[in-house]
Structure 1
Amino acid sequence: MKKLLIAALIATPFLSGCIVAVSDGEAEYGWKSKHSGKNWQAHQKSNRDKIANLVSGADYSAVIQQFDTPDFSELVSKGDAIFQVLYFSTNSKHSDGKVTKDECTPLVFKDGKLIGFGQSAVSEYL
């Protein structure tokens, strides 16, 4: 135990100068590993393309299979209906490793069926 403590104390000064080089800024936050190696621009373009091809009334499970994990999700019960909103990143200006809702397009589902997408759909139904 004493030898381990001495080794740790001796090694500490040598470790303090370690630098991790990140070529594109995304790996620093684990972005690439979370999104199958895609860069953030390609991932967001892919999300935009998928959203553009969605049709009203599509089933939740069929839609979710087309995307990676949502960046945000919400579930709201309103009257007899259940609304679910999934937010997918679509319009970041730069990769800072943090996605906010204003960088996402929301998909709005009512009782498991897609009823709209975009902020206007959220405003209309919720």
Structure 2
Amino acid sequence: MKVKTIAFLLAGLVLYAGLTSITLMFYKDDPDQMNWQDREAFNTKYIYKLDLTKAISRNQVIDYLGGPDITEAKKHQQQVYQVMYYRTHRTKTDGITTKDECTAILFKNQQLIAIGETAVAQFNQLD
């Protein structure tokens, strides 16, 4: 009797561990369904993993993070620059997302070229 009970418990534990691992491996996080604290942590983690030496497109970022909280674009010398701001650190509990609560990501012709304060500085230097 005890052997049967232990076997059932072990089988249940193995099944639980297997289903949990499958869910974690294949379930894509949905930023739109997260609360604001989780979304900020999610955005921060993803943004600071971005590698400027690799070709990363604007669409890849949007596919992963969803739409930006704030965005601006300029055309300079036939090149299109877009800076997207994703909230990564809330400063006020006023319900309004401002640039100072976000991390900027700069794209030139839809390719990532800068992150953070560097992105803002480069974008602001454009005519």
Higher helix proportion (structure 1 or 2): 2
Is the contact between residue 83 and residue 119 of structure 2 (CA under 8 Å) also seen in structure 1? no
Count of aligned positions: 92
Counterpart CA distance in 2 for 1:39 and 1:69 is 16
TM-superposed CA distance for 1:108, in Å, is: 0.1
Match of 1:61, SS? helix
Q: What's 1:51 paired with?
A: 47
**Aligned-pair RMSD on alpha carbons?**
1.7
Match of 1:55, SS? coil
Q: What's 1:41 paired with?
A: 37
- Tell me the amino acid that sits aligned with residue 53 of structure 1: K
Is the contact between residue 85 and residue 102 of structure 2 (CA under 8 Å) also seen in structure 1? yes
Counterpart CA distance in 2 for 1:112 and 1:69 is 14
The two structures have a TM-score, normalised by structure 1, of 0.66
The two structures have a TM-score, normalised by structure 2, of 0.66
Match of 1:106, SS? strand
1:112 and 2:110 equivalent? yes
Match of 1:35, SS? helix
